[in-house]
Structure 1
Amino acid sequence: MAWEGVQERRAGKEELDDEWVTYHHDLSMPQGCRVGGFPSWYTTDPSPMNCEACAAPTILLITVSSREWDGRDGSWMPVEEGDTAEDLRDPCPTKFAVGRDGLLNVFACPTDPGHPHRFSVQ
């Protein structure tokens, strides 16, 4: 939020509006299902995800999310979805349901793909 405050002062704005770019909604990690990247730890603190077989730090393989976007972060909405109000009403086009409207991170061992995967539900 500090970054947003600096940007607001530079722009001479006192409050964020719908057209203003925010770090959390527009520049941070992409929302929705994705391969690779960085895991989201929005419900818990980050925890080490080491391989149970060899103790090597695992890497994020895939994220399966219950929501592809929310009403504010249209910048992460796929181009293929269009920009009509009809498309924006359904932030869950995949119909996945992970936990309580959360996401599932699947981690893999980089040293041996045969090692067991690790999971985190957020």
Structure 2
Amino acid sequence: MNCPYCAAPGTRMETHAHLGTDHADQVRMFRDEAKDQARFALGCPFCDEGLERVANPRGREPGFLEEFRREITLVAFDLLLYHLHASHAELVGLPAIPVDEPTPGETR
């Protein structure tokens, strides 16, 4: 697998760690004051599909984002790696996920 930002090669685990150390600035963390939530966001480097999630559903701890910045960053990159494998495997040096075609007469 290759890093989607700089093409550094490695296993999935190595790429995940590399993303967390070398590209942590790609993950945006912020407070959604209207919803009183701590959130994180990360765009896909290959398409317009990005991700945005609640980092702390209760959102009551003001220092949560800073205290857990590394963990939140790794979660964001884990989600990105799943997206890359499903949607852009060939761009990061992974085999495409095989699509199971139903056999004739099979219902799903």
TM-score by length of 2: 0.24
TM-score by length of 1: 0.23
Structure number with the higher helix fraction is: 2
Higher RCO structure, 1 or 2 (CA under 8 Å, sep 6+): 1
